[in-house]
Amino acid sequence: MDKKYLWKRLGQFFAPIIASVIFLLVFSAILPNELNTIFGLLLISYFISPFGREVLIPITVIALLELHGTVHMASDIALIVTCIVFVDAMCSIFLLWNLDLLKHIPKVGKWIDGMEKFGRKKLKKSRRRRMSIFVALAAYVALPFQGSNGIASTIIGMLSGMKNMRVWLAVWVGSIAGSLSVAIIAFTVGQQFFIEMFDNAAWKAISVMLVIGIFLFLIGNYWSYRKRKAAAMA
């Protein structure tokens, strides 16, 4: 294996991890001790728990209101948005740089590569379609659905044929818009609204079905294309 390629792969794998560690160290160093626990839990929970920002942000707002009320509302909102966007951005860039490793898996890799090329070919033909897919992906990231985070949205964007930087930009735009709106509403309207609305089995089921539906649509679209292509060559 070429050494330059190996170092590139190692850099792409470890760079997001190192950046995350540095961010956590700097973030915890500049925050007062009483905020470290609150925002540390937000970061960890958003990364590993099944709950999305629509539940975790209101819970964080409740903790902040109990700590110091609305005195530091603007800075609290900025910190919440920073945490959510950072997790989404790091998860997204990690996948963008490393998901192609799956292409080395027999059959699975062939399908992933084929879907990307098929999507890229369709997007290349139409600027309006490229813009529509970008807006749709950013809107999906912004909406309070489980799975509308940096991981699922990045995979959807890649399989749709979007270029890596456009996928990452869509994740940034959607994550900022979604976390900012939820944080503002949670502070001004009420936190219980979000928790009661989104932390229930029905909403989780809808969210999961939506994600599955998007993936099935992408796979079905590519499968139909392969069948038409095979029939034309026969």
> Are 191 and 66 a contacting pair, CB within 8 Å?
no
Q: What angle do CA 138, 141, 144 make, to 5 degrees?
A: 135
pLDDT score recorded for residue 147 = 63
pLDDT score recorded for residue 126 = 81
pLDDT score recorded for residue 25 = 93
User: 126 — phi, psi (to 5°)?
Assistant: -140, 120
- The 10s digit of each residue's pLDDT in 137-160 is 999 999 877 666 788 889 889 988
How is residue 167 written in tokens? 């996928």
- The 10s digit of each residue's pLDDT in 12-41 is 999 999 999 999 999 999 998 889 999 999
> Are 196 and 54 a contacting pair, CB within 8 Å?
no
Total-model pTM: 0.87
Please identify every stretch of the chain with a pLDDT value under 70, giving residue numbers as ranges: 1, 146-148, 191, 194-195, 198-199, 234
**Mean pLDDT computed over every residue of the chain:** 86
pLDDT score recorded for residue 63 = 92
* CA atoms within a 13 Å half-sphere pointing along the CA-CB vector of 128: 0
Q: What angle do CA 101, 107, 110 make, to 5 degrees?
A: 60
